[in-house]
Structure 1
Amino acid sequence: MNRYLLAWDLTDRRVLVAGAGTIAEGKVETLRTAGARLVVVGREATPRLRELAADGTIELAERGVRRRDVLGARLVVAATDDRRVNRRVRRWAHAVRAVVNVVDDPALCDVTVPATVQRGPATIAISTDGSSPATARLLREEIERAVPPGVGELVDQASIARRRIRHAGEYRYDYAAWRQRLLEPGLEAVHAGRLDAIRELRHRFEIGFAAPTPIRSGRVTLVGAGPGGADLITVRGARALATADVVVYDRLADPALLDLAPVVAERIPVGKAKGSGTPQDDINELLIRKAADGSHVVRLKGGDPFVFGRGSEECEAVTAAGLPCEVVPGVSSSLAAPALAGIPVTERSVAASFTVVSGHRAADEAHDWEALARSGSTLVVLMGATTAPEIASALIDGGRPDDEPVAIVHAAGTESQRSMHLTLDALRADGCPFPAPCVIVIGPVARTRDVHATGAAEAMIAADAV
């Protein structure tokens, strides 16, 4: 279940907490900072709840909860240790159209209460939809360590600046100005322990806000997405995606890769298929235009961007425009697909070298198939699903044995991965049995079958039965 998080203003609104034990106490502690009028009803209240009642923070009735207790409540929290009582309280609350939270019972909840980290006016909420409160607590503890308490001072000063700029009639939503002139230097001051410097930053920010913000130079990062699954991208590639303002992406084997980018990042598909897709010049122009606007543009490409990915063309175009371009290598499917199917591309006494070729245009003069056939090298063919018969024919004509082992790996690194073993002659006669994406391995190593490779045993059994 996916829930939509909202911030609810409970100031001066009646909130009933049914139960007075340690569970109820925990709920009261999270609710009392919301300014609600808290009413706690339950037998044998904890010492802390009695203390809060004594100083007027809550109203406490040490007795069993009754139907009339829900009257006038906007929120009812059922926090007893008796599920039958919690269900009864829920029915009563729904009868008066109150919103209900039942502790540790997500199925009965209208709302769940997230774990929160408070830093001044900023509240960071962590929700597991009620499925694992312990996990939410652990994540909260991690965030508390990662976000220093001094961030609250930065949020306070940003709030003051916004209010004063509005009062002066100069306010505009200029994220670049806020980020570059106040928030980023303010965060550096927080990490350096110089909280007193934030007020001075805020003062200078207010004075200079009316001036236009110079556009900060953007940049492009070419990221290799790897062969398939989102878990096969490199750590550096994932970090680049996490800071992206714009993601320009090809057709990806695993769309979950896009989830690694911030929710607010712009996502632009430019995927190519044989005979269709966005022209390369248009992609180059798009990267330059978005980066020139000050954005961090991640160009996400399958496999490795410099292996038949035209990454060098894009990098040259970006740098020629005077913009920085970083390359984050990816795991090429030419190596990953055979490995995931348990096939080595080199093996002592069988193959001392391997050659990676594009099968996109099998008749291209750039391919000397006769020389490739004579080389004895393992051949790894990318983008050859539709041209496999022509490739096999050219290699046999060039001298490769017609019974040369061939392995085809489809959708490597994904749940759909399958592989098939056949001969070069069968490939010439029948072609590739799978649609793209496929990697074709040709040579003696292709007869190797490693049942310990990821998914290899089930995939090969299924494929050989085709």
Structure 2
Amino acid sequence: MDYLPVFLRLDGHPVVVVGGGTVALRKAAWLRRAGARVTVVAPGVHAQLAQQAARGELRQIAEEFTPEHLAGAVAVVAATADRATNASVAASARARGVPVNVVDDAELSTFIFPAIVDRSPLVVAVSSGGHAPVLARRVREQIEALLPGRLGALARFMGARRSSVQRALGAFARRGFWERVVSGPVATQVLRGDAAQAERALGRELLAARLTAPAEGAGARRGEVYLIGAGPGDPDLLTLRALQLLQRADVILYDRLVSEAVLELARRDAERIFVGKESGGEDPQRRIHELLLRLAREGKRVARLKGGDPLVFGRGGEEIEVLAKHGIPCTVVPGITAALGAAAAAELPLTHRGLASSVTLIAGRLSDGALPDWRFLANPQHTVVVYMGVAQLPDIVARLEAAGAAAGHPAAIIERATLPGQRILRGTLSNIVALAQAHRIEPPSILILGDVAAFAATEAGAAPLPRAGAPGVPA
């Protein structure tokens, strides 16, 4: 971040605006809405500013700017059309340690005005850090359209009752209570403008919470676990349900396949615990089971966040069994599995008329106790997607060739699918190992085998991909 988003309490504090035009008029209006005591410094001012000064709503000093005008100010805005004057204001403010905003000049500013959605006391601020003000305003407009006009009334309604709810409910019960308030009939009645019905609905909700909440420290409360598929990495591919539960969870257990961008969507105050492992490392699954049980027994809402889908090579089934055995409620949220994410990223259909009508997903960590039918997988008209197969790539190719696959059998590797730095290699069984080594392909990577791996949407203007026997081409 270029700027730390903060909200300043300006009520009753002096703020200086240097300049008297329409921009100064707008800035002064926002400052006055926040309760600041505004002084406008300019030889001449906009008619509305003059009227406000005459009514005593702000103070005007009809002079050219001097550093002495900043005495006692907690913030300064430079809004003149003269950059030299603005630079003088900025230098004087910095010398006094006073935050300064120079309109449309991020270089001279130490703070900026964001685009604001005002549902006081709920306020949303949007900023591009000065890079794209029009974009920030566009985002603000979209948020404006989403937030009900009476949302501020709901915030005031809740704020007025915080103390009584705090006395009635313990800390554990309060969060769930307020979540039901904002998503249930209480909020509906407030937003409708029916305060009496809202008060009655709140009373019913509070009574229910008091009757069902266990005593603090009684040990009887149980949390719950969410097994959430984080998808292939791009946070935009996360499901809406996954986002909702990430915002609710108290603790996040995640592995190395979960991108930082996805983690950033979780509650800011949620505890994060890394439970992943590297290839060849000690299996941490027993520790994960112990953590899930302990944290849920402490009454916490635990998000077990897994790359891809939790039930596709994610050992989610084992965790469901453990939780069910101990009576812990569990919610499973599907995610876009790596096979689908990688295929979409590379624009390779896993099934396609004339190329393939079936798909098999296999784990690349081969063991003699669970070997697939390689003769079946060697059919180029059957798509095979291999997870975790980079390290075993030479062995996989050798087994396919031994089962009758041709040297020209198409193959594709998608590394870091959907993430920045994504790479796609296309080739055949004859050269895919050499290609992967030459380009230093690393996990997470997906291997796609079969005729679909040589698919090219030529009708859409894409260049044809190499067919059987052609040399591999990095993309």
- Given candidates 277, 283, 286, the residue that maps to 2:288 is 283
The answer to whether the 8 Å contact 2:360/2:383 transfers is yes
Shift of 1:143: 6.7
The more displaced of 255-264 and 437-446 is: 437-446
The answer to whether the 8 Å contact 2:431/2:472 transfers is no
Number of the residue aligned with 2:473 = 464
Cα deviation code 1:276-305 (max 9, x no counterpart): 155212212222333333333222212222
Distance of 2:395 and 2:227 partners within structure 1: 33
Number of the residue aligned with 2:87 = 87
Shift of 1:437: 2.2
Q: Specify the code of the residue in structure 2 equivalent to 1:274.
A: S
Distance of 1:216 and 1:51 partners within structure 2: 62
Q: What TM-score, normalized to structure 1?
A: 0.82
Matches within 5 A, 1:437-452: 437-450=444-457
The more displaced of 270-279 and 138-147 is: 138-147
Is residue 178 from structure 1 mapped to residue 174 from structure 2 by the alignment? yes
Matches within 5 A, 1:137-216: 137-138=140-141, 141-142=144-145, 145=148, 148-158=151-161, 161=164, 175-181=171-177, 184-185=180-181, 188=184, 189-193=186-190, 194-196=194-196, 212-213=215-216
Runs of 5+ in structure 1 lacking a partner?
none
Shift of 1:231: 2.7
Aligned length: 459
Secondary structure, aligned partner of 1:76: strand
Shift of 1:102: 1.4
Cα deviation code 1:231-286 (max 9, x no counterpart): 33333333333333322212126321111212222222212322215521221222
Matches within 5 A, 1:210-359: 212-213=215-216, 217-252=222-257, 254-276=259-281, 279-359=284-364
Secondary structure, aligned partner of 2:302: strand
Secondary structure, aligned partner of 2:308: coil
Distance of 2:379 and 2:95 partners within structure 1: 83
Q: Specify the code of the residue in structure 2 equivalent to 1:153.
A: R
Q: Specify the code of the residue in structure 1 equivalent to 2:65.
A: V
Shift of 1:349: 3.3
Cα deviation code 1:418-466 (max 9, x no counterpart): 2333333445788765222222222333333447999999999997369
Secondary structure, aligned partner of 2:272: strand
Distance of 2:394 and 2:227 partners within structure 1: 34
The answer to whether the 8 Å contact 2:426/2:432 transfers is no
The answer to whether the 8 Å contact 1:182/1:202 transfers is no
Shift of 1:360: 0.7
Distance of 2:179 and 2:357 partners within structure 1: 56
The more displaced of 195-204 and 105-114 is: 195-204
Q: Specify the code of the residue in structure 2 equivalent to 1:445.
A: V
The more displaced of 409-418 and 3-12 is: 3-12
Identity of aligned residues (%): 35
Q: CA RMSD in A?
A: 4.1
Q: Specify the code of the residue in structure 1 equivalent to 2:27.
A: K
Shift of 1:151: 2.2
Secondary structure, aligned partner of 1:313: helix
Number of the residue aligned with 1:76 = 76
The answer to whether the 8 Å contact 2:214/2:221 transfers is no
Runs of 5+ in structure 2 lacking a partner?
none
Shift of 1:216: 6.2
Shift of 1:378: 2.6
Q: What TM-score, normalized to structure 2?
A: 0.81
Q: Specify the code of the residue in structure 2 equivalent to 1:2.
A: D
Q: Specify the code of the residue in structure 1 equivalent to 2:363.
A: S
The answer to whether the 8 Å contact 2:343/2:350 transfers is yes
Report the CA distance shift for 1:187/1:62 in structure 2 as closer, same or farther (over 3 A). Answer: farther
The answer to whether the 8 Å contact 1:112/1:129 transfers is yes
Is residue 108 from structure 1 mapped to residue 108 from structure 2 by the alignment? yes
- Given candidates 373, 392, 401, the residue that maps to 2:397 is 392
Report the CA distance shift for 1:404/1:132 in structure 2 as closer, same or farther (over 3 A). Answer: closer
The more displaced of 447-456 and 216-225 is: 447-456
Number of the residue aligned with 2:26 = 26
Secondary structure, aligned partner of 2:80: coil
Report the CA distance shift for 1:455/1:81 in structure 2 as closer, same or farther (over 3 A). Answer: farther
Distance of 2:299 and 2:54 partners within structure 1: 57
